[in-house]
Amino acid sequence: GAGVSQSPRYKVAKRGQDVALRCDPISGHVSLFWYQQALGQGPEFLTYFQNEAQLDKSGLPSDRFFAERPEGSVSTLKIQRTQQEDSAVYLCASSLRTGTYNEQFFGPGTRLTVL
Amino acid sequence: AQSVTQLGSHVSVSEGALVLLRCNYSSSVPPYLFWYVQYPNQGLQLLLKYTSAATLVKGINGFEAEFKKSETSFHLTKPSAHMSDAAEYFCAVSLAARQLTFGSGTQLTVLP
């Protein structure tokens, strides 16, 4: 594809519901990152994949957050039992490779609103 | 650990005036530094990056930034603001080419 795509673009959930957010990275990109951007704030790191391996999940705020990338391409961020503080824009980014700096290309984000 | 501080959450300039957005970083080792721009309901777009080559970095849309180690700064400038520059700007730092640590952002308004 031309860039990183994310779906859905907008999600409204009732408190306690589970949600799944999808990220389609640029084809061939090895690295994939998830960030959380609260209103009026900069993005904050959640987790990082190299191919299918989740190498860093230190930014996940609780065990209700889970991410996977089973085939090293598409990734899903799942939030269980959503709470109001989970309301944010969730950004996905991919880069060609790791080891040396490579530009991260960002998707448009999924805006999650928990009522 | 690394961190970024952006001074001024809102900056207003007149069209044609100088744009200066401030960024200071904290890092225990030489960092990679970036400026991103975010338009409403869009993802982040890379404006420019510093990766230990030239200290004066030129980016897209006429923006540039200078890495000053003695001041731990990486301020973003543009000589003449255009209406289309109105957006939110984020400074970010990275170590070991992994995840980015972002500042809280600066909303730039360009007045006619």
Question: How close, in Å, is residue A71 to chain B by CA atoms?
Answer: 21
B101 touches chain A (CB under 8 A): yes
| Structure tokens given for A18 | 């589970």
B106 touches chain A (CB under 8 A): no
Q: Does the structure show a pLDDT above 60 at B27? A: yes
Portion of chain B with pLDDT greater than 70, in percent = 98
pLDDT at A97: 76
Contact B10, B111 (CB under 8 A): no
Q: Which residues of A touch B36 (CB under 8 A)?
A: 106
Portion of chain A with pLDDT greater than 70, in percent = 96
Q: What confidence tens digit (pLDDT) does each residue in B94-111 have? A: 876 588 999 999 999 999
* Ranges A5-14, A83-92, B65-74: which has the least confidence: B65-74
CB contact (8 A) between residue A101 and residue B46: no
| Structure tokens given for B57 | 């970095």
Contact A101, A95 (CB under 8 A): no
Residue B88 three-state SS: strand
Sign of CA dihedral A70, A87, A46, A8: positive
**Widest pairwise Cα distance in chain A:** 42
B53 Cβ contact list (under 8 Å, min separation 6): none
